[in-house]
Amino acid sequence: MNRKPFLLYTAIAFGYAFLYIPIISVVVYSFNKSRLVTVWGGFSTQWYGKLFENQQILDAAQRSFAIAALSATFAVVIGTASGLALARFGRFPGRGLLSLMNSAPLVMPEVMLGLSGLLLFVSLQHLVGWPQRGMTTIMLAHITFTACYVTVVVRSRLTQMDQSLEDAAMDLGARPWKVFFLITLPLIAPALLAGWLLAFTLSLDDLVIASFTSGPGASTLPMVVYSKVKLGVTPEINALATLIVCIVTAAVTIAGVLLHRQNRRARA
Task: Please check whether residue 9 lies inside any domain of the structure.
Answer: no
What integer best gives the mean pLDDT of the chain? Answer: 86
- Domain total in the chain: 1
Task: Please check whether residue 149 lies inside any domain of the structure.
Answer: yes
Residue 109 to residue 206: CA distance in whole angstroms: 12
Confidence category of residue 266, pLDDT binned at 50, 70, 90 = low
**CATH code, 62:** 1.10.3720.10
Confidence category of residue 268, pLDDT binned at 50, 70, 90 = low
Q: What is the pLDDT of residue 166?
A: 79
Task: Please check whether residue 203 lies inside any domain of the structure.
Answer: yes
Give the residue numbers spanning the domain of 165: 55-221
Q: What is the pLDDT of residues 248-263, one digit of tens each?
A: 888 778 877 877 776 6
Task: Please check whether residue 91 lies inside any domain of the structure.
Answer: yes
- Dihedral, 121, 127, 130, 131 alpha carbons, nearest 10: 10
Percent above pLDDT 70 for the chain? 97
CB neighbour list of residue 34: distance below 8 Å, 6 or more residues apart: 40, 41, 42, 235
Task: Please check whether residue 27 lies inside any domain of the structure.
Answer: no
CB 81 within 8 A of CB 153: no
Task: Please check whether residue 268 lies inside any domain of the structure.
Answer: no
Residue 144 to residue 213: CA distance in whole angstroms: 12
Question: Averaged over 166-182, what is the pLDDT?
Answer: 82
CB 193 within 8 A of CB 255: yes
The pTM score is 0.84
Q: What is the pLDDT of residue 267?
A: 67
Other beta carbons less than 10 A from residue 96's beta carbon:
10
Q: What is the pLDDT of residue 163?
A: 78
Q: For the ranges 19-33, 104-118, 245-259, which has the lowest average pLDDT?
A: 245-259
